[in-house]
Structure 1
Amino acid sequence: MKVRMKLYVKMLLLILTTSFVIFGTSILVIGLQIKKNAYNKSVEYADLTAKVNARQIKGEMQKYMSTAQGLNNFLLSFESLDSAARRANFMNILKYNLKKKTDILSLWTIWEPNTIDNFDSLYINVKGNTYIGNFSPTYYKEGDSIKLEGLSSGPLFQGNYYTTPKTNRKQTLLAPYYYSYGKGEAYAVLQTNMIVPLIYNGRFLGVIGADASLDSLQKYAEQIKPFDESYAFLIAHDGSIVAHRSSKWVGQKLDTLKYSKVTSEEILQNAQWNNNYSFTDVDPITGQETYFTMSPLTIGKASERWVFGIAVPISELNSVAKNSFILSIIAGLVALSVLSIFIYIIARSITRPVTNITRVLEEIAKGNIETSLKVKGKYNDEINDMAQSVNKLIDGLNETAGFAKQIGEGNLDREHQLLSKNDFLGQSLVDMRESLKEARKFEEEKREKDRKQAWVTQGLAQFGEILREDNDDMQKFSVNIAKNICEYMEIPQCAIFIIEEDENESYFDLKAVHAFGSQKLIDKKVKEGEELVGRAISEKSTIHLTNTPDSFATLTTGKTDDPAPNNLLIVPMLMNDEPFGLLELMGYEPFENHQIEFTEKLAESIAATVSSVKTNIRTAQLLKQSEQLKDELSQQEEEMRQNLEEMQATQEEAKKRESELSAIRNTLQNTTMMAEYDLDGRIIRINELMANTYGHAAEHMIGKFQDAFVTQDDASRRGFLKFWQEVISGVTKKRIHEITKRDQTIYLSETYIPIFEDEEIDRVLNIATDITHKVKLDKEITQLMNKVSELKNN
């Protein structure tokens, strides 16, 4: 029986027994202790470097948050300022601070609607505000100048720059992102936002933010090298890499770096919530075994934590102990000469089977996985374990190749047993099989969808021919349609209701019923709103009921064993939203979407045909009535001829008056200032004369509130609102309105007239006259009278 002895045991027995006295004291005691101490000191130095620089970066970034907090304290004093001057003052403060803070890219604030001054309606689409008028200026730097960002038409209050501080009501540090102010994506820089919520008396008013470039942090990180081959990095709270030795990783996510021992989520979680977190792993970038130490940093009162770290190759940490090891190696060279013979014997015993296994692995690397390559183990040690592993590899690759071949031949139901949880090749093939299954399923669904669409198209074309047959006889027409619907849709029952009208009311008459292969004679009339049929007409929408009770179907085959149809589809026949009838279908199976689509489109076509048929029938009736009236008209022709002469004279007079009225209306439009408003005070119509008087184009004033053009302050606004309430209460009001345009004062005499329709006020008409000349003359006359009075007194 062979005694199993592992390879490392053989090496210990042959080598360590000879070298123990020589190497024991010098290497194991001195060398290892020195190496351990040097390694620990290097680790402590790396940890301390990470902490110190984390605090340094925190101090740099804290300046930006402090700026935002300082502006927050100032903005919350808004009620102490005059409401009309708040927006302008705050914009000047933002602009001043941005110019003063050379390292800040942008300062901005967003206020909730009608919180700063209740004047949002006056600032709609005004730069520094939004399209709904709420205060939202953004100042940014472009060279040496400070610019105000243009209007944004996008959705409001939805970005995490707004929703996050509004939700948690805390200072917020956003994840880094690339952004360019006005120059395009080519000039985008990596930046972050320091955001402070505006909380006043427990109420959320908005946010104030400072945007800071992160380029300086990249330069700072590049300078930090506590060891020759070490490097520093900075990670944001969402895993984004903010700074790194290699700039190509900046802006990437941490999970793009695949570590073998820990996940990126574990790294980020531990580093953010431990004062110092470290681990050792193979560096995905350098491929070296590396020691990583990280220290978190918090900006202001923000809950988001960033992480600063140092990466040091293990070889660097051990470099201090190299000198001691060199001395130990020199001392051991003498002993190595004694051990050389034994090492040779050991090497020979190891290299032969290893060489054989290497040859097999080279064949496998070339793609040769024949079972004849299997290695036969001669030793009961690790070499034999290697041989067994190679044999398992050959078997696994053959199984995987067979699985791949089955997939290639279209057998997607073949199962495959993975070699282990790390069998990436097998898992990829399994994933490929599932993807092919999904593709096959998608293709089948697409084919089925195309088939249903073709069924709808073909049916509509077929019924297009049917609708042109017998459409002069409504009864025969209805019977033919009902029969063909049952046959084409393979359903047991179809009924057609057609609208009928008498002198007093309209109703829907059951014209035809085709059930179980034959025509049924049923007399039924339904009014709009009655039963399901009338409800479908009233709502002008399709009704689809499934699994109705057996008693719901009024028509059956007469055989007790035959099932009754229990799925109902009612489709109104509409044309231009006017009902002309409806289709009532019964089926054994629920109606599918394409069947409902087909029935609704067919109902539209039938409605058009019914409308045409009814028009033809009505035309025939009218022709018959016209024949009857022909004689009466002949008798009245002479009387009408006499009346015609009188009517012509009257018509000429009417045309003359219409021409005069038209001339008067055109004259008013061209000589009189006119405008119309809705009851809320919005301009709905204004002529060019009045628009030019206000200094605007007519098309730009339409849709705007009138008080935006006639009030200058809160007092005049309140006065105008009181005046407006009296006008919309039904009172015609007059007033003198003063306008200043280009240093010129214009006086208008305005008359506001309520316009009634159906005894309700519909709109307000404003007719204005320029009385500037009259006012100036009155002032001159007053001045002259004052002078005459002074002369008399003297």
Structure 2
Amino acid sequence: MNFRIQTKLLVYILSTSLFIYILAFGYLGYNDHNLAINEAKHLTDTYSEKYANYIMMNLNGDMDVARTLVQSFTNYEWVYENNLQEQYYQILKTVLQNNPQFHNAALNFELSAINKNYKNPYGRLRYILYKANGIINERTDTLEILGDNVGSAYYDMKINPREDMSEPYMFSPSGTEEDLVLVSSLSIPIMKGEKYVGLLQFDVNLERFNEMINQLKPYPGSFGFLVSNKGRFVAIPEEKYLNKSIDSLSPEDNINFKIIENIQKGKSFSYTMIDSTKTRNYISFSPISIGKEDARWSLGTSVPLDIMIEKADKNLLFSAIVAIMGFLILTLVIWSISRGISRPLIFTSKIIEDLAKGKISLHQKMEITSNDEISDIRSSVNSLIDGLDNNLKFALQIGKGNLEFEFKPLSNEDLLGKALIDMRLSLKQADIEEIKRKEEDEKLNWATKGAARFAELMTQYTDNLEEFSYAIISNLVKYMDANQAGLFIINDSQKNNVTIDLAASYAYDRRKFLEKKINPGVGLVGRCINEAETIYMTDFPDDYLNITSGLGGAAPRSLILVPIIFNQQVFGVIEMASIHNLEEYQKSFVERIGESIASTISNVKINQQTARLLEESKIQSEELVAQEEEMRQNMEEMKATQEELEQKASDAKSILNAINSVALVAEFNMQGKLIDINKDFLILLDKSKEEMLGKFQGSFASVHDEETEEFRKFWNDLRKGKVKKTIQNIEVNGNDIWLSEAYTPIIDKNGVAYKVLNFSVDITTARIGE
């Protein structure tokens, strides 16, 4: 009987295992072979796409440089009216010096755009800068005054304005053949609204991409190549193919796989081809989009298919060897197991069958009468019965809620016993976690209420920094149950004498009117500002705080200094002393409040800076008017004062540029209609300049009416030369935006306001935080 059971185990298990092995390893081997090839192709596609993105980033970076310059050239009318054309040479020269990939630069303006008296629709002025022998040369040409050159590249851009990257061509900076380099012309039109007024062009060196292409080798024998929109090689390891058409090298592939057509459509595609050496190659193309018009180039990668298949074949052979060895090992294991379990299985099958049915009883324990294998099996079964009985009793006690019931697992390998113990620990841990959760909820609720309380405070003192500082610091002391605190703010109004001033202090339920100035880097306050990190101390002498903190009074048990930071800029320090040790959530709360304080201080300083710049602009404007009148009356003194006037005009322009960089700027006529607006304001409003011109002030406000008495009074005050400040809520695309605004009348030489400058700062983030 034992022999028959063992034989059946061997025959049935081995035959089934052999069948499964053949199916499984055959299927897995075939799939692994195909998967290896597909992964190799995917790796090739990934490499191609990665390098294509890098090249696209470089080309679009060149396009961004040109596009930025075009924005600066849109004020050409003012430049020509003030005879400042030389600035254009300086700008282009700086760009050529800072961008070695640019060989030449050409700036074209239609004569009708820069000369109001020129009425012909043709004729252009061209500024050219080109590099020769390391020197940047300048030249100005007047072209096509007798008529447009129909068929030229410039004429094509004129009638069809667009961003463009031309087909590559050979160019020599020195005019000699040995200096020939492959370049492409980058062109961006200069538009006045919908009207074409000029063109900016750069010749871009394409040879820099050869080094990138040479690094594109995902496999031995592979190489990359860069192809232009019309199929010309821009970069390829074999230089003899540079600037040649891919169609001339492999016309059949171009026809069969529509290479140039797919490049122009901006598609990612791949195919397998056989080259002249009868080698099968996998070719992968990744698109490169250049500029807003999406001029299409493509990066190709060629990999010998045999290299891909070689790895897949090795994997298949290795899988077959592993399968054979695994089956031999399985055969030995099954034979050993079948022999070891066949005999004890006969004597214990009934007991195990009962246990399998869930029948657990100590009466099932078997008597052990020998020391052979059967006795070991019976002993194990008896231990199993004892263990299951103990597990059953323990589970019943746990179900009754008795988590302290004594229980020991059968051994270190008793998974069921360990699971029961883990279940008890989990139940205990759940009770502990519930207590912790309640504590965390209380801390979170405390922090949330505090944040709301201080957010409300910060909206009440936006115009008075001193009262704002006292309100914040006094409420912080009370909310934190501290005994004293101070708010230090960096005073950088004098660039050569920066100090850290005590803006407000509060101690022992009273406001302290203290004056204290600390030099940068001195004491704990200076250290906190320099490190931009929180300082927390509990171990220091009783008189240490009186000496170094600047607060005075009795020595507390703990001291915390928190830098107030907004947009990575430190504005000051909160210094607070307490008789209690602070927990982490309390420290985090003070740091969070510090961020909000810094944001409010930043807005106050911006408003103050804007008002100061406006006042300086007004004073300088009045000085310029007086000096111009003086020049008109005394022409003999004009040469002596000309240099001073030019310097002041430059200062005024710098001030206006500074204001433009920190604020949103708009101009209104004295009827309240918009006559000019800067780019940042247009981006915020999501409108074009043409849509905004002529609109009344306040058109985007959530509530507005040009006919109200408030609107008339507002503009009557401006007409009288009064500066008006306001906070306005506007709605853009369904979103609320809050602006802090200043309206300053601009006065002519007769003292009459002829226009109004509006400077605004976006305070939406601070409002939302409130």
TM-score interval for Structure 1 and Structure 2 normalised by the shorter chain: 0.3 to 0.5
Normalising by the residue count of structure 2, what TM-score does the alignment of the two structures yield? 0.36
Structure whose alpha-carbon radius of gyration is higher: 1
Normalising by the residue count of structure 1, what TM-score does the alignment of the two structures yield? 0.35
